[in-house]
C-alpha cells in the first residue's frame, strides 16, 4: 500500500454543550471549541497504524470548510499525517458535494484506501462514504470495527444487528469506521511544532469543478425537550401504582 487518504471534518467538540440560537436558525458557534469529528479521528488513527505496521504508506488528511479548518488539519498532521489538503468553502457543504470533492482528490492522488468516519456528530448523515464509493465505482465497507490488510485487498469486520460480519473487498476501496476500531493517540507538543512545517495545500470547490448547491433547507433548530424530574418510590407496589396513574401499564 502506497497511499491512504483520510477525510476529516471540523465539528463542535464532543465535550461542548451545544446551544441553539435564540431565533432557532441553528446552533451557536461563536467562541465554541471545534475539533476533528471523533469518527474521523479514529479513521486517521487507523491509517497511521497501517503505516506504522511496515507499509510505509503516505497518509494524506483532507477536509472541506473555511480557513479555520486548517486548525483541524494541523492536528491531523501532528498526529502523524504526512501532508494535508484543504478544499476551501465558505458555505456549508452537503454530503453529495463533499463526496464529489473527495472524488476529485481521489482521482488526483490515486490512493489505495480512502478511510473516513461512518458519520459526523453534527449532522449524523452517514452518507459521504457511501456516495464517494458509488461515484468512484469502487468497493465499500462501512461501520468497520477491525481492518486486516492482505495483498491487493482488505478484510473488514463490521458490526451488524445480528452481531459481527466479516467481508473482503479489493483495493482501492472506501472504508468507514466505527467507534470500537481503536483509541486515537494523544498529540504531544513536539508533534504540534513539527506539524507546522508539514505541507498543507489549499484549493477550492471551484478549482475542482464543483458547485456546492444547497439542496436542503433547515427550517428550524430546537433544543432537546426538558426531561421531567425523576420520582423515588418505596417499593414495587408503589412503582406499579405510579405507572398505572401515568397510563403506562
Q: What is the pLDDT of residues 167-181, one digit of tens each?
A: 999 999 999 999 999
According to the model, what pLDDT value does residue 91 have? 82
Stated pTM of the model: 0.86
According to the model, what pLDDT value does residue 116 have? 96
Three-state secondary structure of the chain: CCEEEEECCEEECCCCCCCECCCCCCECCCCCCEEECHHHHHHHHHHHHHHHHHHCCEEEEEEEECHHHHHHHHHHHHHCCCEEEEEECCCCCCHHHHHHHHHHHHHHHCCCEEEEECCCCCCCCCCHHHHHHHHHCCCEEEEEEEEEEECCEEEEEEEECCEEEEEEEECCEEEEECHHHCCCCCCCHHHHHHHCCCCEEEEECCCCCCCCCCCCCCCCCCCCCCCCCCCCCCCHHHHHHHHHHCCCC
Q: What is the pLDDT of residues 33-55, one digit of tens each?
A: 999 999 999 999 999 999 999 88
- In the predicted model, what is the mean pLDDT of residues 207-219? 84
According to the model, what pLDDT value does residue 48 have? 97
According to the model, what pLDDT value does residue 30 have? 86
Q: What is the pLDDT of residues 124-173, one digit of tens each?
A: 999 999 999 999 999 999 999 999 999 999 999 998 888 899 999 999 99
More confident residue, 248 or 116: 116
Q: pLDDT at residue 213 above 80? A: no
All structural domains of the chain: 3-245 (3.40.50.620)
Q: pLDDT at residue 14 above 80? A: yes
Q: pLDDT at residue 80 above 90? A: yes
According to the model, what pLDDT value does residue 233 have? 87
According to the model, what pLDDT value does residue 228 have? 78
According to the model, what pLDDT value does residue 249 have? 84
According to the model, what pLDDT value does residue 31 have? 86
Amino acid at each position: 500500500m502506497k497511499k491512504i487518504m483520510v477525510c476529516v471534518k471540523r465539528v463542535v467538540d464532543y465535550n461542548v454543550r451545544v446551544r441553539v440560537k435564540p431565533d432557532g436558525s441553528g446552533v451557536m458557534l461563536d467562541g465554541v471549541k471545534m475539533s476533528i469529528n471523533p469518527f474521523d479521528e479514529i479513521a486517521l488513527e487507523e491509517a497511521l497504524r497501517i503505516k506504522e505496521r511496515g507499509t510505509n504508506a503516505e497518509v494524506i488528511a483532507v477536509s472541506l470548510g473555511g480557513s479555520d479548518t486548517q486548525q483541524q488539519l494541523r492536528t491531523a498532521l501532528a498526529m502523524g499525517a504526512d501532508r494535508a489538503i484543504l478544499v476551501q468553502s465558505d458555505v456549508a457543504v452537503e454530503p453529495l458535494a463533499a463526496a464529489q470533492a473527495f472524488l476529485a482528490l481521489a482521482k488526483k492522488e490515486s490512493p489505495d484506501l480512502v478511510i473516513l468516519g461512518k458519520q459526523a456528530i453534527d449532522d449524523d448523515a452517514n452518507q459521504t462514504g457511501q456516495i464517494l464509493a458509488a461515484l468512484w465505482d469502487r468497493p465499500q465497507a462501512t461501520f468497520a470495527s477491525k481492518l486486516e490488510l492482505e495483498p491487493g485487498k482488505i478484510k473488514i469486520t463490521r458490526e451488524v444487528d445480528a452481531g459481527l460480519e466479516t467481508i473482503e473487498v479489493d483495493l482501492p476501496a472506501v472504508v468507514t469506521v466505527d467507534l470500537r476500531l481503536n483509541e486515537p493517540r494523544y498529540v504531544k507538543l513536539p508533534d504540534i511544532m513539527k506539524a507546522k512545517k508539514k505541507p498543507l495545500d489549499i484549493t477550492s470547490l471551484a478549482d475542482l469543478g464543483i458547485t456546492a448547491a444547497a439542496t436542503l433547507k433547515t427550517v428550524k433548530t430546537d433544543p432537546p425537550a426538558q426531561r421531567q424530574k425523576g420520582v423515588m418510590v418505596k417499593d414495587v407496589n408503589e412503582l406499579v401504582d405510579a405507572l398505572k396513574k401515568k397510563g403506562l401499564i
